[in-house]
Structure 1
Amino acid sequence: MRNTRTLTRRAVLGAVSVGAVLALAACGNSGGDSDSSGDAGSDSSASAPAGAGTTADATAGAHNAQDATFAQGMIPHHRQALEMAELAADRASSAQVKDLASRIEKAQDPEIRTMSGWLTSWGEDVPAASGGTAKSMPGMDHPAGSGMPGMMDGSDMEMLEKASGTDFDTMFLTMMIEHHKGAVDMAGTEKNKGEYEPATSMADGIITAQTAEIAEMNKLLGKS
């Protein structure tokens, strides 16, 4: 994972230095893409109520160790995505990046609450929230988090936190693409090995929504 994060930082810095963000301006009329991706994001968010039934319903549903592992890993993974998205509000220069970040928050925050409810009903530990800063984000220095695919480390987040304008836009998109790919991998494992239907349904929604957002972000970066 360390090599992946190193490559990510090199890719980000390289993208900034060559002015890759010029592609953002070229996409100024791509409102249709944003709407389409917004639909995908809402699919992911819509999956939350399906798993947010009563405690009795959650307890009665069959689940296995993979379901618990999925929730315990995806909660801190989503929390870091929210931390990244929150930075976009006053650092991003592109309206499209700000819109994407807002959709990520709206989709993933309810999923965190839903997964926390599952774990509580199963008698499993719910990952503790961090202090809310980039340096203390889950997965930065915690062994379990650092092993999750797509997670940024402390230096990645510090670099993003210090950036602004078009530099931020490029860093955000490049890092979030990697982050989304990690979430898709984790969700794929849940679909294949999970047993609790609301969890496998959420995993399917994550794959659909975040795959669409990866394509959207690549387009904003000028990639095919």
Structure 2
Amino acid sequence: MNSKRVLVRRTAAVAAAGVAALVLAACGGSGDSSAGHDGHTTKSPSASAPAAQGQNNAADVAFAKGMIPHHRQAVEMADLAPSRVESAEVKKLTAAIKAAQDPEIQTMSGWLTSWGEEVPAEGAMDHSMHGTGGMMTAEEMDQLKNSSGKAFDTAFMKLMIKHHEGAVAMAKTEQAEGAYEPAKKMAGEIIASQTAEITQMNKLLGAN
């Protein structure tokens, strides 16, 4: 009788240990061996906190607040092209600019919101942080709107080269001074893509 009781107790203990092991495995995450025995406590903060929280600095905020209106103007310039452009290459370029910069505006707006910062209002331009950054004046935008054909192509490229140069300078500042890795990564992508587009536009202008 006693041996049976001991056997039952041992069986229950083994079962309880098995359940406890399963609970610990579930807490540790799905196959994250790096979390270790205290995986639940080390993994929880990063999983529950907003991705951007506590990882940005003033340079990151300045980059997003400066680049959003800068990108918006580039998209506005690109939107003028379909009814005015003559060159197929320039038309393709304007479409590429819009396709790249529209999503970046949304991403940077999301960063600012998660950081508790205000997203620049439509039409707002903050020149205090980055100077003019190659932004078009109201007069330059009006001249672009009133041109068409080859004149539009030439004006667009000349203005966009200046615009891109401003964006590249802003992106280099972010890479040097920023702390938020996704923003620094985006800055690198802006430098690479817009430098390539500057080269392309200079070649097209030289060929005209």
DSSP 3-state at the match of 2:79:
helix
Q: Confirm or deny that 1:165 pairs with 2:149.
A: yes
* CA shift in 2, pair 1:146/1:83, >3 Å: farther
Normalised by the size of structure 2, how large is the TM-score?
0.73
CA-based RMSD: 1.8
Aligned to 2:116: 123
Residue pair 1:145, 1:151 contacting (<8 A) in 2 also: no
Query: Matches of 1:146 and 1:197 in 2, distance apart?
Result: 20
Residue pair 1:68, 1:119 contacting (<8 A) in 2 also: yes
Query: Matches of 2:49 and 2:94 in 1, distance apart?
Result: 31
Q: Confirm or deny that 1:100 pairs with 2:93.
A: yes
Query: Matches of 1:146 and 1:116 in 2, distance apart?
Result: 18
Aligned to 1:110: 103
Matches within 5 A, 1:1-224: 56-59=50-53, 62-130=55-123, 138-139=124-125, 144=128, 147-222=131-206
Sequence identity, in percent?
56
Normalised by the size of structure 1, how large is the TM-score?
0.68
Aligned to 1:34: none
Query: Matches of 2:106 and 2:49 in 1, distance apart?
Result: 13
Higher-RCO chain (CA-CA 8 Å, sequence separation at least 6): 1
Looking at CA atoms only, which structure, 1 or 2, has the larger radius of gyration? 2
Residue pair 2:161, 2:201 contacting (<8 A) in 1 also: yes
Query: Matches of 1:143 and 1:179 in 2, distance apart?
Result: 14
Residue identity opposite 1:147 in structure 2 = G
Residue pair 1:76, 1:145 contacting (<8 A) in 2 also: no
Aligned to 2:11: none
| Count of residue pairs brought into register by the alignment | 160
Residue pair 2:66, 2:130 contacting (<8 A) in 1 also: no
CA drift of 1:144 comes to 4.1
Query: Matches of 2:119 and 2:132 in 1, distance apart?
Result: 16
CA drift of 1:143 comes to 5.1
1:107-160 deviation line (CA, Å, top 9, x unaligned): 000000000000000001100113xxxxxxx43xx6548933100110000000
1:44-86 deviation line (CA, Å, top 9, x unaligned): xxxxxxxxxx9811225x1100000000000000000000000
* Runs of 4+ with >6 A deviation: none
Query: Matches of 1:145 and 1:63 in 2, distance apart?
Result: 17
Structure 1: stretches of 5+ with no match in the other structure: 1-53, 131-137
